[in-house]
């Protein structure tokens, strides 16, 4: 898979609007297939093939971008989205393709970029459901978390939670609105054992640790806990370090996103492509 193909969808727009961040993403995207193949103990060609699927099939980026443009035309963009169609979310897609989960739970949706990637992967696998939790805010100042750190992510309207998710991917999606603590407990109770948990809600140490500890017992052996913004505090390294299992960080100089597998069974089921 050539880097050129990865650059194609919106390179000029990205290079003009956020050159340094975009170049870092490209570097991460270039390195990620090999790193993920090692982590999952899969052939690099298989992992690269999933990336090719995402880049080549179904016009995923164009459909997400079309939803963004609709929001923008109606003046409903809110803050910077807190996620984007870009290389760091591609890893979410590839992990879901490779792991073929039946049940995925995520906290933190905003406009729904991560949800869209996860749902596209479930769609391409032909199996699985995504259960998402979000507590949207329309306050232009965003929120200050329990560590006193402000997160400015906000929506134009609470109804725009997940707004960039293409309509044809929504049949595998269930959204529950409420604070992750305690909403996660009731969602996990309802869905039973899960294969992937993805944290991207309030990034305070207390909330991240609470979500990891709450989700972990529901993860099937061999399931994966994923987390955004693991560099905000020590919660992810502490939690992942205590599991005695390989962990992985990707995107950004310090690895913004992290993954750790639950031991007890092969973490990487045989690919069924």
Ligand X SMILES: C[S@@+](CC[C@H](N)C(=O)[O-])C[C@H]1O[C@@H](n2cnc3c(N)ncnc32)[C@H](O)[C@@H]1O
Interface with ligand X by CB under 6 A: which residues? 82-83, 107-110, 113-114, 133-137, 143, 153, 179-180, 200-202, 207
Q: Closest CB to ligand X among 51 and 88?
A: 88
Query: In angstroms, what CA-CA distances link 199 with 34, 80, 107, 219?
Result: 24, 19, 5, 13
- Whether 164 and 116 have beta carbons less than 8 Å apart is answered as yes
Q: How far is the CB of 110 from ligand X (least distance, A)?
A: 4
- Whether 54 and 7 have beta carbons less than 8 Å apart is answered as no
- Whether 135 and 180 have beta carbons less than 8 Å apart is answered as yes
Q: Closest CB to ligand X among 207 and 218?
A: 207
Q: How far is the CB of 170 from ligand X (least distance, A)?
A: 15
Query: In angstroms, what CA-CA distances link 85 with 62, 126, 147, 247?
Result: 10, 22, 28, 24
Nearest to 149 by CA among 199, 205, 85: 205
Q: How far is the CB of 153 from ligand X (least distance, A)?
A: 5
Angle at 208 between CA 110 and CA 79, to 5 degrees: 25
Q: How far apart (Å, rounded) are the C-alpha atoms in residues 141 and 137?
A: 9
154 SS3 class: coil
Q: How far is the CB of 44 from ligand X (least distance, A)?
A: 26
Residue 110, classified by CB atoms within 10 Å of its CB into exposed (0-12), middle (13-18) or buried (19+), is buried
Q: Closest CB to ligand X among 22 and 37?
A: 22
Q: How far is the CB of 255 from ligand X (least distance, A)?
A: 16
Q: How far is the CB of 263 from ligand X (least distance, A)?
A: 26
User: ω before 182 within 30° of 0 (cis)?
Assistant: yes
Q: How far is the CB of 107 from ligand X (least distance, A)?
A: 5
User: Closest residue (Cβ) to ligand X?
Assistant: 83
């Amino acid at each position: 898979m050539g880097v050129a193909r990865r650059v194609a969808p919106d390179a000029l727009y990205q290079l003009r609007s956020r050159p340094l961040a975009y170049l870092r993403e490209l570097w991460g995207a270039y390195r990620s297939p090999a790193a993920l193949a090692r982590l999952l103990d899969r052939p690099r060609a298989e992992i690269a093939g999933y990336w090719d699927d995402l880049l080549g099939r179904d016009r995923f980026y164009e459909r997400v971008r079309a939803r963004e443009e609709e929001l923008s035309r109606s003046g409903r963009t809110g803050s910077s989205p807190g996620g984007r169609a870009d290389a760091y979310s591609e890893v979410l897609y590839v992990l879901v393709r490779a792991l073929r989960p039946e049940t995925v739970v995520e906290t933190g949706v905003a406009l729904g970029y991560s949800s869209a990637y996860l749902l596209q992967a479930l769609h391409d696998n032909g199996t699985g459901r995504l259960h998402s939790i979000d507590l949207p805010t329309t306050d232009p100042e965003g929120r200050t978390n329990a560590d006193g750190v402000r997160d400015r992510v906000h929506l134009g309207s609470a109804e725009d939670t997940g707004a960039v998710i293409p309509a044809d991917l929504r049949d595998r999606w269930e959204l529950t609105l409420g604070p992750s603590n305690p909403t996660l407990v009731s969602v996990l109770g309802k869905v039973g054992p899960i294969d992937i948990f993805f944290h991207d809600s309030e990034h305070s140490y207390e909330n991240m640790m609470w979500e990891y500890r709450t989700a972990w017992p529901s993860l099937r052996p061999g399931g994966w806990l994923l987390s955004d913004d693991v560099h905000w505090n020590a919660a992810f390294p502490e939690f992942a370090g205590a599991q005695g299992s390989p962990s992985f960080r990707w995107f950004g100089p310090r690895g913004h996103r992290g993954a750790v597998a639950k031991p007890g069974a092969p973490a990487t089921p045989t690919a069924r492509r």
